[in-house]
Copies of this chain bind each other. A is one copy, B any other.
Amino acid sequence: MATIYEVSKLAGVSVATVSRVINGSGRVSEKTRQKVLSGMRALDYQPNSIAQSLASNRSNCVGVLVSEVHGPVFGAMLSGIEAELRAAGKLTIFATGHNVEAKEREAIRFLVSRNCDALIMHVEALADAFIHQQAHQGPPLLIMNRVVPGLEDRCISLDNEHGGYVATNMLLEMRHRRIAYISGPLAWGDARARLEGHGRALKEHGLRLDRRLVIESNFHEVGGSEAMAELLRRDIPFSAVVCANDEMAAGAMDTLRTQGRSIPDDMSLVGFDNAPLSRYLYPKLSTVNYPITEMGRMAAHWVLENVYGQSGADFQNIFEPELVIRASAGPGPG
């Protein structure tokens, strides 16, 4: 690999000048610029990004911390982030935290040790306090899918409350009156907000949330399946169920089918996230879209603008979920 030194020799200028044309910094006369450029071409010169990083104290890479790489949400988010960053010549590095606090901390250490210029994280296990600390001592931080008090302007999240609202509202408008709810872990803000939206929709329609029709589950398929079984066991009438994510809806659907209930005739079902699987279920799942790819793009934009000084579009903190109507929900018995 050719070095800047060889280019400078070939072009008959100093390395400083070559550096200037590489970075477009400082002033270089057009004539020397051309000499340097042709020298670079002749040697197929490619700046050594490591050396650039060391000298400029900027790694041109941003770290992304996720729970898992696979799975519907994280892959899509990474995808959005990478697309934007790479278009700007920046590198995306990532690490997985598996939703375990110790691992998430270690992953942050790892990413920071690689000198990333910014950090985007989608984590559940870390406490707000730790995030605050990290925000004050490490590289600029962006938090996905979570609102950390005091760092609101660094959080990109979905209006989960509204999402819960529209899901339930749709069922209500279909004349369902007794609507069950399978929730995610209420320790997590997004799960709580979705449930609150559900409650608000009921209230606006003059109904009260029946605690016996709400089950706190775990966002997983098996959890949804068990929750559904438990709901049926309770023997309280209901004609529709809102699931706080699509995976649980898949589980719930399975249980319903096993018990011989037909969807949507006997029971309407709504999910949340609009994960790929929602299209594969039968009947296809009505759900609430979670624009995670766009949110990833937005995170990348923020970084490009605030860390790398590129001017960008307006920053949007909160994204609005939208209803995706498919076949799993039908008119209620009302």
A residues whose Cβ falls under 8 Å from a Cβ of B: 46-51, 53-54, 59, 61, 68-72, 74-76, 78-79, 82-83, 86, 91-96, 110, 113-115, 250, 257, 276-277, 280-282, 293
How far apart sit A46 and B138, CA to CA, in the bound complex (Å)?
13
Cβ-closest chain B residue relative to A57: B50
Q: Are A115 and B70 neighbours in the complex by a CB distance under 8 Å?
A: no
Q: Which one of B95, B257, B277, B280 lies within 8 Å of A86 (CB-CB)?
A: B95
Q: Which residues of B contact A250 (CB under 8 A)?
A: 280
Q: Which residues of B contact A59 (CB under 8 A)?
A: 50
Q: Which one of B53, B93, B277, B281 lies within 8 Å of A93 (CB-CB)?
A: B93
Cβ-closest chain B residue relative to A247: B280
Contact sample, A vs B, 19 pairs, CB 8 Å cutoff: A46-B113, A49-B115, A50-B50, A50-B59, A50-B114, A61-B93, A68-B79, A69-B82, A71-B75, A75-B75, A82-B94, A91-B93, A92-B93, A93-B93, A250-B280, A276-B277, A277-B280, A280-B280, A281-B282
How far apart sit A79 and B76, CA to CA, in the bound complex (Å)?
14
**Known: A54-B50, A276-B277, A282-B281. Contact between A96 and B115, CB under 8 A?**
no
How far apart sit A73 and B83, CA to CA, in the bound complex (Å)?
19
The interface centre, meaning the residue of A51, A71, A94 with most chain B CB atoms within 10 A of its CB, is A94
How far apart sit A82 and B98, CA to CA, in the bound complex (Å)?
12
13 more CB-based (< 8 A) A-B contacts, given A69-B78, A70-B293, A257-B282 = A47-B113, A48-B54, A51-B54, A54-B54, A70-B76, A75-B75, A82-B94, A86-B110, A91-B110, A250-B280, A277-B277, A280-B280, A281-B282
Quote the shortest CB–CB distance from A289 to chain B (angstroms).
Answer: 15
**Known: A68-B79, A79-B69, A83-B96. Contact between A48 and B277, CB under 8 A?**
no
How far apart sit A276 and B70, CA to CA, in the bound complex (Å)?
10
Q: Are A50 and B115 neighbours in the complex by a CB distance under 8 Å?
A: yes
Q: Which residues of B contact A46 (CB under 8 A)?
A: 113
How far apart sit A70 and B79, CA to CA, in the bound complex (Å)?
6
Quote the shortest CB–CB distance from A56 to chain B (angstroms).
Answer: 10
The interface centre, meaning the residue of A46, A69, A79, A86 with most chain B CB atoms within 10 A of its CB, is A69
Q: Which one of B50, B83, B96 lies within 8 Å of A79 (CB-CB)?
A: B96
Quote the shortest CB–CB distance from A110 to chain B (angstroms).
Answer: 7
